[in-house]
Amino acid sequence: MRWGVITFPGSCDDHDVIDCLKTDLGQKVKVLWHKDELAGNFDCIVLPGGFSYGDYLRCGAMARFSPIMRGLMKFAQSGGLVLGICNGFQILCESGLLPGALVRNSGLQFVCQPVHLRVEETDTPFTSSLKKGQLLRMPVKHGEGCYYADPKTLESLRKNRQILLRYVDAKGKPAASANPNGSVENIAGICNPARNVFGLMPHPEDACSALLGSEDGAKLFMSIAAACADRVPPHA
């Protein structure tokens, strides 16, 4: 399994993803620089969290123009797995690989806290080792993580079963009180119709060790690794 992790200027969680994949999960990882062209064979490319270009414009709006994004678009179109975490999710929405947008949290403040997530769909390479309805615990930390999509888009997300994760309470209910940012329908993560591009606001890389309070993030990464073992990787 070959992972690639892109560093944009202002990426902060790139080291964390690389460390947990390598150290906690024993994976092979290539560090990618945003100014380079995408080259090499990869099973999954991660767009990490952070504040690309300072998020001074709309989050992710600048990073989508980085040179590496051209190759990434092709990689995604040819079926390669793309995982966007937090700022990475924002970049995927800005680049059109995922529908909808991430806007300012409804509470208007940055929010850093652990959340419960419910796995909604398992017929994707990202979630195939997980169980439908399974609860995962990991942190969110963002100022603009409120997922928004117009009713028509939401309808198609539901129809195509693209909503992969929802914010829920400890009992697994998508209660309003369990929604940290006001996301529509408590949406925490979605995939594209082809099910090979996945964006989520929570941070699995911060939940890969019992010492840090949760290993649920590792379950997600290992689910991807297991799915890739059965796939032929596309050439980037």
Partner 1 sequence: MLEPASREFTQPAVTAELIAAHGLTAEEYQKIVKALGCEPNYTELGVFSVMWSEHCSYKSSRYYLKNLPTEGRHVLQGPGENAGVVDIGGGLAVAFKMESHNHPSFIEPYQGAATGVGGILRDIFTMGARPVASLDSLRFGAIDHPRTRYLLSGVVAGIGGYGNCIGVPTVGGECYFDECYNANILVNAFTLGIVKKNRIFTGIARGTGNPVIYVGSKTGRDGIHGATMASESFSEEKEQRRPTVQVGDPFTEKLLLEACLELMEKDFIIGIQDMGAAGLTSSSTEMAGRGGCGIELDLSAVPLREKGMTPYEILLSESQERMLLVARRGTESEIQKIFEKWDLDAVVIGKVTDDQQFRALWHDHEVARIPIRALTKDAPAYQRLAARPVYQEQVQQFDLAKLKEPGDLNVALKQLLGSPNIASKEWIYRQYDHYVRSNTVIAPGADAAVIRIKGTHKGLALTVDGNSRYCYLDPYVGGVLAVAEAARNLACVGARPIGLTDCLNFGSPENPEVMWQFAQVIQGMRSACLALNVPVVSGNVSFYNETDGVPIYPTPTIGMVGLIEKIDRVVTPWFKASGDVVVLLGRTREELGGSEYLKWIHGITRGTPPWIDLKMESAVQRCCTEAIEQEVLCSAHDVSDGGMAVTLAECCVGGEKPLGVRIDSREMIRGDALLFSESQSRIIVSLKEQNLDKLREITARHSVPMQVIGTVGGTRFVFQPLVQVSVEELKGIWSTGLTSRLK
Structure tokens at 31: 């560090």
CB under 8 Å to 13, separation ≥6 — which residues? 48, 49, 50, 85, 86, 87, 203, 205, 206
Unique residue bearing structure tokens 């969110």:
140
CB under 8 Å to 232, separation ≥6 — which residues? none
Residue 120 catalytic? Answer: no
Does residue 65 bind partner 1 (CB under 8 A)?
A: no
User: How many residues at the interface with partner 1, by CB under 8 A?
Assistant: 33
Strand 163-168 vs strand 146-148: parallel, antiparallel, or unpaired? unpaired
Residue 37 catalytic? Answer: no
* 206 or 216: CB nearest partner 1: 206
Does residue 50 bind partner 1 (CB under 8 A)?
A: yes
Three-state DSSP state, 83: strand
Q: What is the CA radius of gyration of the chain?
A: 16
Rounded Cα gap, residues 42 and 75, in angstroms: 9
Does residue 53 bind partner 1 (CB under 8 A)?
A: yes
Q: Which of 44, 59, 203, 208 is catalytic?
A: 203
Q: Which of 16, 43, 94, 144 binds partner 1 (CB under 8 A)?
A: 16
Residue 203 catalytic? Answer: yes
What string marks each residue from 120 to 159 as x (binds partner 1 by CB under 8 A) or -?
-------------------x-x-x----------------
Does residue 111 bind partner 1 (CB under 8 A)?
A: yes
Interacting residue ranges for partner 1, rule: CB under 8 A: 9-13, 15-16, 19-20, 23, 35, 49-51, 53-56, 109-113, 139, 141, 143, 203, 205-206, 208-209, 211-212
